[in-house]
A and B are shown apart, each in its own frame.
Chain A
Amino acid sequence: MNVSPTLLGSFSRLRLALLASLLVVLQGCGIIYKTTGDVLINYGRAEMVPYLLMDDDVAMGCATGEALTPLLLSFEAVGSNPDRLAPLVYTVAATCTEALALEQELRYSRALKDGRVAEAQDARTMQKRYLRVTAQRYHKAYQRTTAQYGEADNGQCPRLRTDFDELVWLVGQIAGVQAVLNDGASDASLGIPRDIAAKVERGAACVDNEKWWGVPNGTRAALWSILPMFAPEGADPWREMDRSVRMGFEQGVRLPSALFAIAAHSVGDEQRVRRAVREFAKNDQHIDQNYAMLDALAEFLITGVSDRLWTEATGKRTPFGGLGTFWDDQRSSQPAFDIDDLL
């Protein structure tokens, strides 16, 4: 077949034009993507996070974290910076697998109680799989926090300009401790650096304790109770945690109380665990609605501790509506008044 040179010439010109327009379109996409990313990230920071924090639905928080994290973080590839949002979404995403791990832990306890060894071993395996993913998510939350703000060292704190920065920092610190603990519980399979605990002990001091419901000192004191070598000389971790717990109750975010219960459970102090769970349940009147999600997360954590105790003792978790009670509480059918007076 003969093709005229003129036709060939116009074809190659057309091809060049096509290539050029494709390039422009692709570049345009880049610009549009980055703009979309910036808008989404700013929107997330200004609107979505405050909205989500007002919701006490932990399952919704978890689903949001799992669904939105890849979307938000993918904008990094086109030049947007999601570092301030990432610790929050990774942390709520971690609660999903943490809940699954807890279910397996309870299954393990039940199986053990009934002497079903194979099922108990299977539940442990599943628990470790979920804990590993949980540790990974918390660790990413912590890494993103340090990528954005750096680390606290020798009394030097990072510059936290806004309340949002302080909140992200604080969440990132707690995520750091959680990463180490969850990694440990999954046979240290990720090998997350253990010095995060010490770094968080310093980092938590970088935000105002009273402003953040006693969580900063509560976190530090919880670490002192588990690792006394980090405590300043003469410090009394339980008294310090008690102060934080009161502060949390007064301000309507009961996270310090959950931290107290977790620390007491970790060192095997069941009396303190019980006291913390009872007080937590009693102080549910004045929840700060702007931070309902954080209080709900605290409830999720402390219910987990209560469920572990209940299941080990009875094979069943905390009865519905029964948070703050224990299986061996004295229940008397005898009224406190003298029946003879009525007769």
Chain B
Amino acid sequence: MRISRFLSVAVAALALGFTSQASANTQLRLCVFDIIGSSGDIFNLMRDYRTAALGEGVDFRMRAFTDENIAYEELTGGQCDVAAITGIRGRQLNSYTGSLDSIGAIPNYDALRMVVQVLSSENPRITPNLRHGPYEVIGIAPMGAAYLFVKDQSINNVNALAGKSIAVMEYDVAQGRMASRVGMSPVMSDITNFSGRFNNHSVDICFAPMAAYSALELYRGMGPDGGIVDYTLGQLTMQLIARHDKLPEGFAAWSRKYMFENLYDRAQAVVDNAYNDVSDDRWIRVSEDDTLRYDEMMREARIDLTEQGVYSKEMMSLLRNIRCRLDSSRGECSENLE
């Protein structure tokens, strides 16, 4: 009896020892790109992520970066263990998730939600794609669809784009190539100067998410005659990219699930807010025929860019299947080119 009590105490002590070892905190550095630093929406979201992660035994030290390149370099240089950066910027680290931001591939927010749900499902045919080299994508949140902002409402179809100048992000090859393809002159820009160029009329068109409309006052560049072309050119996403070897066992899966179940809809609510600032008459509606034409153009461009190695073939195929799941009447659904 005494021996068995001793044994049970010993077993309990051992179990406790193991438990405390399992919950010992791993200290990691989380670098967050947010255009306005620690006062911004992404950083705010990541604070809650950090809190929940502590419950999983990961104690993050957070740092804000207003320059995305620096956050990226800190991750690749090993000063950050996890970084929250845009999908476009992270494309070089994982072309599969980096291709989420490909042109015209995710036409609406329902499709985006479905894609991220699939990516967070821990399905064995999906999860291996989230890891590439030393990096692993451990969470995705929406940052808003990108549109064309134009200073003249007569730019309402693709033919009218020819000869116009457009500010494109210099680190996204796809933007420049697509612009040249439809006869526009791309002007290489970055996040700090594209809105200034549009607002002081040194370019005719810019490409941006809706959040920029109010925050960067794109309505000033649009003037009274301008508008926003009502066609989704792509989806911008925020991706949490980690150095895989730094993560405790099981953390990546927890992180993807937590991001999708707890933070995705909150990030989407911030995105949705930005649409309230735009009055109806600012939208340049695109006819159904033109929409079909643009869908086809975008598809051709994606196929080219995939062949050139810019986009991932696997992701293009997944996105096509999701588009067709949501709307089987799309022309592309009858032929399997992506």
| Interface, chain A (partner B; CB < 8 A) | 108, 112, 115, 117, 120-121, 124, 181, 184-185, 187-188, 191, 193-195, 197-198, 226-229, 265-268
Question: Are B55 and A268 in contact, CB atoms less than 8 angstroms apart?
Answer: no
B156 sits at the interface (CB 8 A): no
Q: Which residues of chain A come closer than 8 Å to B37, judged between CB atoms?
A: 226, 266-268
Q: List 9 A-B contacts (CB under 8 A).
A: A184-B39, A187-B270, A193-B214, A197-B215, A226-B39, A227-B35, A267-B38, A268-B38, A268-B64
A193 is contacted by which of B41, B47, B270, B277 (Cβ under 8 Å)?
A: B277
Q: How far does the alpha carbon of A191 sit from the alpha carbon of B25 in the complex, in Å? A: 37
Tell me how far the C-beta of B82 lies from the nearest C-beta in chain A, rounded to whole angstroms.
16
B211 sits at the interface (CB 8 A): yes
Q: Which residues of chain A come closer than 8 Å to B214, judged between CB atoms?
A: 193-195
Q: How far does the alpha carbon of A120 sit from the alpha carbon of B60 in the complex, in Å? A: 14
Question: Are A115 and B54 in contact, CB atoms less than 8 angstroms apart?
Answer: yes
Q: How far does the alpha carbon of A229 sit from the alpha carbon of B218 in the complex, in Å? A: 12
| Interface, chain B (partner A; CB < 8 A) | 25, 35-41, 44, 47-48, 50-52, 54-55, 59, 63-66, 191-193, 195-196, 211, 214-217, 266, 269-270, 273-274, 276-277
Question: Are B44 and A187 in contact, CB atoms less than 8 angstroms apart?
Answer: yes
Tell me how far the C-beta of B317 lies from the nearest C-beta in chain A, rounded to whole angstroms.
35
Tell me how far the C-beta of A127 lies from the nearest C-beta in chain B, rounded to whole angstroms.
10
Question: Are B51 and A266 in contact, CB atoms less than 8 angstroms apart?
Answer: no
Q: How far does the alpha carbon of A198 sit from the alpha carbon of B195 in the complex, in Å? A: 12
Closest residue to B211 on the A side, CB-wise? Answer: A194
Q: Which residues of chain B come closer than 8 Å to A112, judged between CB atoms?
A: 50-51, 54
Closest residue to B266 on the A side, CB-wise? Answer: A187
Tell me how far the C-beta of B64 lies from the nearest C-beta in chain A, rounded to whole angstroms.
4
Q: Which residues of chain A come closer than 8 Å to B196, judged between CB atoms?
A: 229
Question: Are A265 and B270 in contact, CB atoms less than 8 angstroms apart?
Answer: no
Q: Which residues of chain A come closer than 8 Å to B48, judged between CB atoms?
A: 121, 124
Q: Which residues of chain B come closer than 8 Å to A191, judged between CB atoms?
A: 273, 276
Question: Are B41 and A121 in contact, CB atoms less than 8 angstroms apart?
Answer: no
Question: Are A266 and B38 in contact, CB atoms less than 8 angstroms apart?
Answer: yes
Question: Are A184 and B52 in contact, CB atoms less than 8 angstroms apart?
Answer: no
Tell me how far the C-beta of B106 lies from the nearest C-beta in chain A, rounded to whole angstroms.
23
Tell me how far the C-beta of B192 lies from the nearest C-beta in chain A, rounded to whole angstroms.
5
Closest residue to A105 on the B side, CB-wise? Answer: B47
Q: Which residues of chain A come closer than 8 Å to B35, judged between CB atoms?
A: 227
Tell me how far the C-beta of B287 lies from the nearest C-beta in chain A, rounded to whole angstroms.
31
B215 is contacted by which of A117, A185, A194 (Cβ under 8 Å)?
A: A194
Query: Other than the known A115-B25, A121-B48, A187-B270, what 19 A-B pairs have Cβ atoms closer than 8 Å?
Result: A115-B54, A117-B55, A121-B51, A121-B52, A185-B39, A185-B44, A188-B270, A191-B273, A198-B215, A226-B39, A228-B192, A229-B192, A229-B195, A266-B37, A266-B39, A267-B38, A267-B64, A268-B64, A268-B66
